[in-house]
């Protein structure tokens, strides 16, 4: 897509070149100005396509490509979790890559500068906890054709199911591996924290 400022600059350049190329007219006759066509309108960004492309890159864990979809101050929100800035988002994407997260779009609707999705997710954490899938409403907000906010809202039933499945593990790891458990609680999202979480979940599964 051509940037509107570039379109305007090219339009001005074309006017200048056209004026210089006009043939000279006789002095006795009035000089008629040639009408210039207005510059072409800039097409609106296809927010549905951008959203699908972004979520496909998430599904393929193309962490080098994903930051280009987002504004520098982009925010990710999921229930009580809030992550801001491209660096933090990159860490989240790397966490998801290790966690083998697979998000599918079940439904999509564009509302002005916002795209509202219904999504499903499976990942290795859910599998080890005994959760088949998580369903959510995901709202993607745009600014200048880039994502400035993703908000994920899970149902109360899904939150309750997760806590029921997670509580036995958290009790076990808090007793057996208190230092590692504290690192999980305070370390945030990263590839390393995902590796630690999955290692503890697998040990819990083997020993419980």
pLDDT tens-digit readout, 37-50: 555 556 788 999 99
For the segment 86-111, the average pLDDT, to the nearest whole number, is 95
Q: How far apart are CA 181 and CA 196, in angstroms?
A: 9
Q: Would you place residue 185 in the very low, low, confident or very high pLDDT band (cuts 50, 70, 90)?
A: confident
Q: What pLDDT score was predicted for residue 69? A: 97
Phi-psi region of 61 (alpha: psi -120 to 50; beta: other; left: phi over 0): left
Q: What pLDDT score was predicted for residue 40? A: 56
pLDDT tens-digit readout, 103-156: 999 999 999 999 999 999 999 999 999 999 999 999 999 999 999 999 999 989
Task: Please list, in sequence order, all residues whose beta carbon lies within 8 angstroms of the beta carbon of residue 74, skipping any fewer than 6 positions away.
Answer: 84, 85, 86, 89, 146, 147, 148, 149, 150
Residue 200: closest CA among 187, 188, 184:
184
Q: What pLDDT score was predicted for residue 36? A: 61
Q: How far apart are CA 189 and CA 91, in angstroms?
A: 6
Give the domains, in start order, of the chain with CATH numbers. Answer: 47-207 (3.10.450.50)
- Which of 9-13, 36-40, 118-122, 172-176 shows the lowest mean pLDDT across its residues? 9-13
Q: How far apart are CA 108 and CA 153, in angstroms?
A: 15
Residue 146: closest CA among 54, 32, 29:
54
Q: What is the pTM of this model?
A: 0.76
């Amino acid at each position: 897509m051509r940037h509107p400022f570039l379109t305007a600059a090219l339009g001005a350049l074309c006017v200048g070149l056209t004026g210089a190329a006009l043939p000279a007219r006789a002095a006795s006759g009035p000089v008629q100005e040639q009408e210039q066509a207005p510059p072409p309108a800039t097409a609106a960004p296809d927010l549905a396509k951008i959203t699908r492309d972004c979520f496909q890159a998430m599904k393929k864990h193309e962490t080098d490509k994903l930051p280009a979809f987002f504004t520098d101050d982009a925010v990710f929100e999921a229930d009580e979790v809030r992550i801001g800035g491209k660096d933090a988002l990159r860490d989240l994407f790397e966490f998801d890559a290790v966690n083998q997260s697979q998000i599918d779009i079940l439904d999509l609707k564009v509302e002005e500068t916002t795209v509202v999705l219904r999504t499903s997710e499976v990942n290795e954490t859910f599998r080890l906890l005994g959760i088949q899938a998580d369903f959510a409403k995901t709202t993607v907000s745009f600014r200048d054709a880039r994502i400035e906010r993703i908000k994920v809202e899970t149902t109360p039933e899904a939150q309750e199911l997760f806590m029921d499945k997670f509580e036995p593990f958290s009790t076990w790891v808090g007793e057996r591996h208190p230092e590692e458990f504290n690192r999980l609680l305070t370390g945030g999202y990263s590839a390393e924290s995902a590796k630690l979480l999955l290692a503890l979940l697998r040990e819990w599964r083997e020993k419980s």
